[in-house]
Chains A and B, each alone.
Chain A
Amino acid sequence: MRPVLRFGAFVSTALILAGVLLFALNPGRVLQSGIVTQSVPHGLSGLLSGLEAGSPVAVISLGLLILILTPVLRVISTVVYSFRRRDWIYLAITSYVLLVLLIGFAIGAEA
């Protein structure tokens, strides 16, 4: 489980730092409309178009999204772990948690 966590932490941190750096290089445009109200990418399509445009804010957002996904990866690894151990009760528990997490993402995307 540890490599999974390290990977997630590393990738998300790298992306966030990259985005912050990009922002620091050209903050003027973004800061004009205020720190908070600048474009918060809405949904996956908003994020993708922001990335295409090379927006530092979008890069940061992607890093944040991966950060949010890291616990999910962790749960998946416990599911696999319990399956390998033939620990059915534990498998049921971890599978349920994973299911609710996925439902959470699905509902969030619709809201």
Chain B
Amino acid sequence: MDPVQFFTVLIVASVLAGVLGSLLGLGGGIIVIPVLTLLLGVDIRYAVGASIVSVIATSNGATVSHLKGGVANLRVGMLLEVATVTGAVLGALAASHVGESALYLIFAVVLAYSAIAMYQRRHADANPNLREDRFSTWLRLGGRYLDHASNRVVRYGVVGVPVALGLMLLAGVVSGLLGVGSGTLKVPAMDLAMKLPLKVSTATSNFMIGVTAAAGAAVHFTQGDVAPLIAAPVAIGVLVGAMGGARLLSRVQSHSVRLLFVLILVVISVQMAVKGLGIQV
């Protein structure tokens, strides 16, 4: 494959990853890693490095737009960061010691579970949760936002803080290990465990994954996992895509975002399982 082809595919895939990632609160690494390893034959080391960079680029691009609308809940985000960042550093350090096949399989299982659970909750935003648990009240985590689609101000409370923190630790470890933004784990955790409105989970996840990725990225960067000529097109493409995607978020119904998210989770889950089981496709 000649360089021009290589870079073209890379950039197109990156822009796509950026749009999708911003729309769903993912880091886009979900799309980048498969494209790099399966389509372009790049060593997974460099795929992880490029993915981590794309994750940060997505978080930057999307957050700038989201903070304007006040949809992301910064207090919840920072609190959960305590767990994710700790996990990310641990994960990045463990990267050389853990068998990747096992990881792919675990990830596949978690994704499948999240997809099922989220599908069951797809209409839930009709009545946003107004209860709070003790932690949420103490830390003043609840909030409200203006929903463009239905044109009303939505108030919400937050529950399930301890469970969410546990899930976030896991999400952080996975992030450090695989270089995936693990927004895939964060959004369901916020949606299911904490019962946040989906748009808030998505926007908050975008804010958080950049910080989590930075924690793991430092380790990978200085280890030489970030190949500039691969990571650069990815970073730019994703940034461009994310900025476009964030604008769409406020106009899309929660219902359809959720369905799209479920579909993507299923597809990726299968992909991961195939890789983990070593099946040659």
- Chain A residues engaging chain B, CB cutoff 8 angstroms: 1-2, 5-6, 8-9, 12-13, 16-17, 19-20, 23, 27, 30-31, 35-36, 38, 40-43, 57-58, 60-61, 63-65, 67-72, 74-75, 78, 89-90, 93-94, 96-97, 100-101, 103-105, 107-109, 111
Q: Which residue of A lies closest to B216 (CB)?
A: A104
Q: In whole angstroms, how far apart are the Cα atoms of A53 and B224 in the complex?
A: 19
Q: In whole angstroms, how far apart are the Cα atoms of A97 and B239 in the complex?
A: 24
- Chain B residues engaging chain A, CB cutoff 8 angstroms: 3, 6, 42-43, 46, 53, 56-57, 59-61, 63-64, 67-68, 74-75, 78-79, 81-82, 85-86, 88-89, 92-93, 138-139, 210-211, 213-224, 226-233, 235-236, 239
Q: Are A97 and B228 interface neighbours, CB within 8 A?
A: no
CB proximity of A28 to chain B, nearest CB, Å: 11
Q: Which residue of B lies closest to A79 (CB)?
A: B78
Q: Are A71 and B75 interface neighbours, CB within 8 A?
A: no
Q: In whole angstroms, how far apart are the Cα atoms of A13 and B224 in the complex?
A: 20
A5 partner residues in chain B, CB cutoff 8 A: 60, 63-64
Most buried by B among A17, A31, A36, A103: A36
A96 partner residues in chain B, CB cutoff 8 A: 82
Q: By DSSP majority rule, is chain A's interface helix, strand, loop, or mixed?
A: helix
Q: In whole angstroms, how far apart are the Cα atoms of A40 and B64 in the complex?
A: 30
Q: Are A9 and B64 interface neighbours, CB within 8 A?
A: yes
Q: By DSSP majority rule, is chain B's interface helix, strand, loop, or mixed?
A: helix
CB proximity of A38 to chain B, nearest CB, Å: 7
Q: In whole angstroms, how far apart are the Cα atoms of A2 and B63 in the complex?
A: 9
With A38-B227, A72-B214 already in contact, 15 other A-B pairs whose C-beta atoms are closer than 8 Å: A2-B64, A8-B60, A13-B236, A42-B224, A57-B228, A58-B228, A61-B226, A64-B221, A68-B217, A97-B85, A100-B86, A100-B215, A101-B214, A104-B85, A111-B93
Q: Are A64 and B64 interface neighbours, CB within 8 A?
A: no
CB proximity of B208 to chain A, nearest CB, Å: 9
CB proximity of B240 to chain A, nearest CB, Å: 10
Q: Are B239 and A108 interface neighbours, CB within 8 A?
A: no
Q: Which residue of B lies closest to A38 (CB)?
A: B229
CB proximity of B21 to chain A, nearest CB, Å: 15
Task: State which of A17, A41, A68 has its C-beta within 8 Å of the C-beta of B56.
Answer: A68
B59 partner residues in chain A, CB cutoff 8 A: 71
Contacts A97-B82, A104-B92 given; does A64 touch B228 at CB 8 Å: yes
Q: Are A43 and B78 interface neighbours, CB within 8 A?
A: no
Q: Are B89 and A103 interface neighbours, CB within 8 A?
A: yes
